[in-house]
Structure 1
Amino acid sequence: MFELKTIALFIVTAIAEIVGCYLPYLWLRQSASVWLLIPAAFSLALFAWLLTLHPEASGRVYAAYGGVYVSAALVWLWAVDGIKPSVWDAAGVACTLLGMAIIMFAPRHA
């Protein structure tokens, strides 16, 4: 089963990935400073390192991370971009998390 520690690791990993991609976006599309590429590179390196801390590198673990990533991306949309997610966004997150839960917690035959 998942522990709170694992879920927290997923959340921190997702934030590192989002920040690492968002900062170059600001530079390329919003005319922000090129200096944003330095923290972006640091954030993406942190993201790669955090991936090594996950319980195992398997499809099921990545499915769980994907569900957390989608959720974090919509929180980012609201908190950073100031765009309130729609009911459809919330439904999409719910479907993603439900799919992740089915993959992670389905009965397994040894």
Structure 2
Amino acid sequence: MEGQVPHVIFNMSSLKVINFDGNKLSGLLFPDTDTSISSHILEVLYLSNNQFTGQLPSGFWKLKNIQRLEASFNSFIGIIPSEVVNLTQLTHLYLGYNRLTGMFYI
């Protein structure tokens, strides 16, 4: 697949796994103003090996049920925000091979 991720996918509130690994996706994943993301039951989100750029989406840190989040091999920049510690279900986080900085402590 190429282009932007259709935002309608994140409106599917019963979706537990999204795997977009190894495509040519870019653009915004979900709008920063979307408050419905916090009630989403999404448990696994694979976004590695795409063409995403810019800051890590703030929507990541609102996924309260997320267990696995992989967004490696993109071109994300900036810091890893402290909100990552609010993801209490998270067991696997892989953000390698981006241009991210900072540290967080659990």
| Higher fraction of strand | 2
TM-score w.r.t. the length of structure 2 is: 0.23
| Higher fraction of helix | 1
TM-score w.r.t. the length of structure 1 is: 0.23
Higher relative contact order (CA 8 A, sep 6+): 1
Greater CA radius of gyration, 1 or 2?
1
